[in-house]
Amino acid sequence: MENGKSNGAATMKLPEIKFTKLFINGQFVDATSEKTFESIDPRNGEVIAKVAAGDKEDVDLAVNAARHAFDHGPWPRMSGFMRAKIINKFADLIEQNIEELAALDAVDGGKMFHIGKLSDIPSAAGHFRYYAGAADKFHGETLKMTKPSMFGYTLKEPIGVVGHIIPWNFPSIMFAMKVAPALAAGCTMVVKPAEQTPLSALFFAHLSKEAGFPDGVINVVTGFGSTAGAAIASHMDIDKVSFTGSTDVGRKIMQAAATSNLKKISLELGGKSPFLIFDDADADKAAHLALIGCFHNKGEICVAGSRVFVQEGIYDKVVNKLVEKAKNWNVGDPFDSTCQHGPQVDKKQFEKILSYIEHGKNEGATLLTGGKAIGDKGYFIEPTIFADVTEDMKIYKEEIFGPVMCLMKFKTIEEGIKCANNTKYGLAAGIVSQNIDVINTVSRSIKAGVIWVNCYFAFDLDSPYGGYKASGNCRESGMDALDNYLQVKAIAMPLLNSPWQ
Ligand code: ADP
């Protein structure tokens, strides 16, 4: 061990990188410009692959393929029952390739391989199974028209060609969370993975061919946000963009939609989620949950409980436990299963987090533990806890997206609620208490899309997930997510005795 970083040897042979080209109309092809970009291993900064750098021309080709598949191909015309068969086959193939997909996300994004195997990739497959199950179960309605001589009903139709813009922190789950409901709805699509983590999306593209999706239904264009991503956001022939990422880029997507074809957009954006520990909590369990809530996936998670508020009666106990546990938190190689987290995704993110830590120190917060990079190779950062954080500090207000916890004390339930809501974001919140009145009052008063009581990251395929306020405008997961990819058509016709006859 060196500064809390594990030196445990990698336990898995690194994956062979088989797919590096764009996937358009069922074929792997070079970018039109033949340009590539380097995908970097965040454990050591070394190049692991050169990946096709798609740009506007490539997005055009992919959109043409998706448009043709939507307007003329079998996918939107097939029954939901038949679509489900192919989507389930895709899920089978993902399950048969769990190790390879988890390994790709580990070398590409610094994500823990064993967690990928146990959680990320099975959950990705689970999304496809869940929405395969939904594909033949969404219906329109028979309407009770106010004019009884009229008959009316609604249809739920696929929205059309979708552009999915995906972030780098959960490359496989995000791919599935967006692609699966869109497929079930009958849409065709162009997926742009983040430039930091393009490899698993290309592997999914390969599996999609084997699963039997018609050509053009799923296209993957790798490339940068300002080029390929911007081309998707402003494309005149894309009907819908589904985006997960930073609030700043979310704004740009909204602007691009407004100044192009007014495409529908769904945004899942940043967060600065509160985690509230009340006096009656078990200090040890609460500290354990708070730590996982903040440091899981090296803090690179939009729902991270990065503002931890502890009631004054239990504050000292919880703080001691937090510091003790953070010091034993093992940071190291993503292929070493004794580690809890690996390197930050890239140099930019690594430097950004370290600069936030410097801000915290300069603004007068008390650094209880961590605060430094680990080693001289790769992008590893110690789990960091600041106490005495105040609401005017940058580390309190802004999303850091790294293993940095802000710790604050509160007195009353009302004060706890006020603190929790003192943010422009509203993605998630955690509550630790045994008191049902506290739990009910607080969970109904916090302005956030997801509330986890005596647990954290309790994601479920059937549980909708998304933000209030600046954290976004949609819900993903669960049946609500289908609505992102469907539109309602109302059909009216006169009955025999109608004046229209
Ligand atoms: P981060 O800032 O944490 O890297 P981003 O929000 O920039 O996260 O990235 C999320 C996704 O948005 C990535 O796929 C990225 O390429 C894409 N992206 C970035 N900028 C733009 C943009 N101007 N238009 C469309 N997509 C973008």
Out of 2, 34, 195, 268, which one is annotated catalytic? 268
How would you classify the pairing of strands 380-381 and 373-374? Answer: antiparallel
Look at residue 3 and tell me whether its pLDDT is greater than 60.
Answer: no
For ligand 1, atom 23, name the residue with the nearest CA: 226
Residue bearing tokens 């006020």 = 418
Percent share of the chain, pLDDT over 70: 97
CA of 167 to the centre of ligand 1 (A): 7
- Residue 226 Cα to ligand 1 middle (Å): 7
Average pLDDT over residues 418-441: 98
CATH number of 22-140+157-269: 3.40.605.10
Give the CA distances from residue 176 to residues 91, 123, 183, 241, 403, in Å, rounded to whole numbers and listed in that order: 10, 8, 10, 15, 25
Indicate if ligand 1 lies below 6 Å from the C-beta of 166: yes
Q: Which residues pair with 380 in a beta bridge?
A: 374
- Ligand 1: nearest atom to the Cα of 192: 14
The answer to whether the CB of 112 falls within 8 A of the CB of 341 is: yes
> For position 15, what pLDDT does the model report?
87
Please give the residue that has the higher pLDDT: either 497 or 67. Answer: 67
Question: Is residue 57 annotated as part of the catalytic site, yes or no?
Answer: no
Mean pLDDT along residues 308-322: 98
Q: What is the band of 501 on the pLDDT scale with cuts at 50, 70, 90?
A: confident
Taking the centre of ligand 1 as the mean of its atom positions, its distance from the CA of residue 341, in whole angstroms, is 24
Q: pLDDT tens digits for 349-401?
A: 999 999 999 999 999 999 999 999 999 999 999 999 999 999 999 999 999 99
Q: What is the mean pLDDT of the chain?
A: 96
Domain 274-462: give its CATH superfamily: Aldehyde Dehydrogenase; Chain A, domain 2 (3.40.309.10)
pTM of the shown model: 0.96
Confidence of residue 12 (pLDDT cuts 50, 70, 90): low
Q: Give the model's pLDDT for residue 497.
A: 85
Residue with tokens 């995704």: 345
Residue 421: which region, alpha, beta or left (left: phi > 0; alpha: psi -120 to 50)? alpha
pLDDT at 38 over 50: yes
Given a contact cutoff of 8 angstroms between Cβ atoms, the answer to whether 300 and 342 are in contact is: no
Determine the distance separating the centroid of ligand 1 and the alpha carbon of 245, expressed in angstroms: 6
Distance of alpha carbon 451 from its chain centroid, rounded?
A: 17
More confident residue, 5 or 39: 39
Read off the amino acid at residue 90. Answer: F
Report the candidate in 457, 450, 416, 426 with the shortest Cα–Cα distance to residue 281: 416
Q: Is the pLDDT of residue 17 over 90?
A: yes
79-119 pLDDT, tens digit each: 999 999 999 999 999 999 999 999 999 999 999 999 999 99
**Residue to substitute in 51, 165, 352 for testing ligand 1 pocket (most ligand atoms within 8 angstroms of CB):** 165
CA dihedral 293, 298, 304, 309 (to 10 degrees): 60
Q: Which residues pair with 431 in a beta bridge?
A: 276, 453
Dihedral sign (CA 163, 47, 358, 384): positive
Q: How many residues does the structure list for the chain? A: 501
At 176-188, the pLDDT tens digits run: 999 999 999 999 9
Which has the closest alpha carbon to 395: 317, 294, 480? 294
Would you say residue 8 has pLDDT above 80? no
pLDDT at 276 over 60: yes
Backbone angles phi, psi at 79, to 5 degrees: -70, 155
Residues of the chain with CATH 3.40.309.10: 274-462
In angstroms, what is the C-alpha Rg of the chain? 24
Q: How confident is the model at residue 5 (pLDDT cuts 50, 70, 90)?
A: very low
d(CA 308, CA 277): 8
Annotate 328-373 with three-state secondary structure: CCCECCCCCCCCCECCCCCHHHHHHHHHHHHHHHHHCCEEEECCCE
Q: 500 and 199 in contact (C-beta within 8 Å)?
A: no
The phi and psi torsions of 28 (rounded to 5 degrees) equal -85, 125
From CA 88, how far away is CA 128, in angstroms rounded? Answer: 7
Residue-level pLDDT at 206: 98
- C-beta 249 within 6 A of ligand 1: yes
**Residue owning tokens 């061919």:** 209
Contact at 8 Å (CB) between 180 and 128? yes
CA angle 229, 18, 350 (to 5 degrees): 50
**Residue 54 CB–ligand 1 contact under 6 Å:** no
